[in-house]
Structure 1
Amino acid sequence: MWVNDYFTKEMGIIIVSDELIIERSGKKFFLHHGDGLGPGDRKYKILRKIFRNPLCQWLFALVPPRIGLGIANAWSRGSRAASSQEEVFMGEDNEWLATYAKEQLAREHYDYFVFGHRHLPLDLDLGSESRYINTGEWLKYNSYAVFDGKHLSLKYFEKE
């Protein structure tokens, strides 16, 4: 969101800001980072609106890069320190993204909901032949998701 078209121009990477709905091998996927979805997380939702605001982005672009990077790094360190407590499964009824996925299922069928914002690897059966996969944080949990053409599953790689 703050990089504008840098990744696209420099590396050919397309940034998807919201959900990406795709179909592969007859399976329908709802892909999203997961930030700001579902009930709760009000502070983050406000912060997300600020970060996505074009005026705020334009103002930040006016800040000299050395200062801007310093601010961004300090913010990132503070955010990591604040969220350094261990992520724990809160129960299916208390997981915001599982709640959000169930709300979407009431409107339209998806075989898989894939998110990452929660940073905790999760694989939950939502009923109606639908699953919620949260890829987790690969640096901490070594987790990733694989679709083999029939099923999406959460996998873990071994550290060397």
Structure 2
Amino acid sequence: MTTLFISDLHLAAERPAVTELFGAFMQKEATRADALYILGDLFEAWVGDDDPSETGAYVAARVCEVADAGVPVLFIRGNRDFLLGDAFARRAGMRILPDPAVVMLYGKPVLLMHGDLLCTGDTAYQAFRAQTRNPAWQAQFLSQPLAARLAFAAQARAASAAHQGGMKQQDKTQFETLTDVATATVDATFAQFGIHTIIHGHTHRPAMHDLTVDDHACQRIVLGDWYEQGSVLRVEPDAMALEALL
């Protein structure tokens, strides 16, 4: 009995080796799991379910194989694929969860998130996030031609990389602080939901953090990214392990 968690794969045509690693993971391990949770940023960018990319088609097929094997596949949107919609979810046979979402994991309530909501120190990003999650903004964006949406996504990625690169050069310590979770927000989230375990991705800092919140022992588990290798959290009824896929 094993439930699998992955996030931050950032799959794209430019990184075929990682896409192949994902396919092998889905076919060899995910088809035997109790459930598979994908906590956002499955794709490097997603500009709408009408995108006919080969990567999208390949991913949908691999996910559908897992679902057809009787394994529930649950997905939380990330900051790179927040426009992934019901059409692609149906095509892939997976179910979209809200962010955040409380699920029961072997009888224990656990809070699942992509993780960007915890990074409240980056106020510029949080403002951008609020804007792009607005249904009116999304409707206007999705009404544009596919080529225009792809160009916007490429420009946004370049601007983000330049912004982060500038922050690193100016003050690396501040960069690390702004791009990681805010301790006060983490504590408030534990208290708000009344749970003792949070699993999320986004920060690309894989770790299992033990902490105390309001005199309760809590754990925050951060999934790793798939830029150079895979990362998976395997949870069993009485054990869990955060490991790299080599």
TM range (shorter): 0.7 to 0.9
| Residue matched to 1:96 | 181
| Residue matched to 1:122 | 207
Check conservation: 1:122, 1:133, Cα contact below 8 A.
yes
Amino acid at match of 2:191: A
| Residue matched to 1:44 | 125
Task: Map Cα deviations across residues 77-136 of structure 1 (whole Å, 9 max, x no partner).
Answer: 332444365x98x69xx9535433322333554242111121111211013332111102
Task: Map Cα deviations across residues 55-79 of structure 1 (whole Å, 9 max, x no partner).
Answer: 1111112211111111112212332
- Aligned counterparts of 1:12 and 1:135: Cα–Cα separation in 2: 23
Give percent identity, aligned residues only.
25
Pair 1:134 & 2:219 matched: no
State the secondary structure of the residue aligned to 1:22: strand
Q: How does 1:1-160 map to 2 (within 5 A)?
A: 1-37=82-118, 39-83=120-164, 96-127=181-212, 128-140=216-228, 142-158=230-246
Structure-1-length-normalised TM-score: 0.79
Check conservation: 1:101, 1:113, Cα contact below 8 A.
no
Which runs of structure 1 show a deviation greater than 6 angstroms over 4 or more consecutive aligned residues?
A: none
Count how many residue pairs are aligned between Structure 1 and Structure 2.
155
- Aligned counterparts of 1:132 and 1:106: Cα–Cα separation in 2: 13
Check conservation: 1:138, 1:144, Cα contact below 8 A.
no
State the secondary structure of the residue aligned to 1:136: coil
- Aligned counterparts of 1:98 and 1:55: Cα–Cα separation in 2: 32
Amino acid at match of 1:117: H
- Aligned counterparts of 2:147 and 2:127: Cα–Cα separation in 1: 26
Alpha-carbon distance, 1:141 to partner: 5.7
Larger relative contact order (CA 8 Å, sep ≥ 6): 2
Amino acid at match of 1:123: M
- 5+ residue gaps, structure 1, are none
Structure-2-length-normalised TM-score: 0.54
- 5+ residue gaps, structure 2, are 1-81
State the secondary structure of the residue aligned to 1:83: helix
Change (3 A) 1:16 1:138: same
State the secondary structure of the residue aligned to 1:15: strand
Check conservation: 2:121, 2:182, Cα contact below 8 A.
no
- Aligned counterparts of 2:196 and 2:107: Cα–Cα separation in 1: 9
State the secondary structure of the residue aligned to 2:203: coil
Alpha-carbon distance, 1:149 to partner: 1.4
Change (3 A) 1:108 1:50: closer
Check conservation: 1:7, 1:14, Cα contact below 8 A.
no
- Aligned counterparts of 1:96 and 1:4: Cα–Cα separation in 2: 27
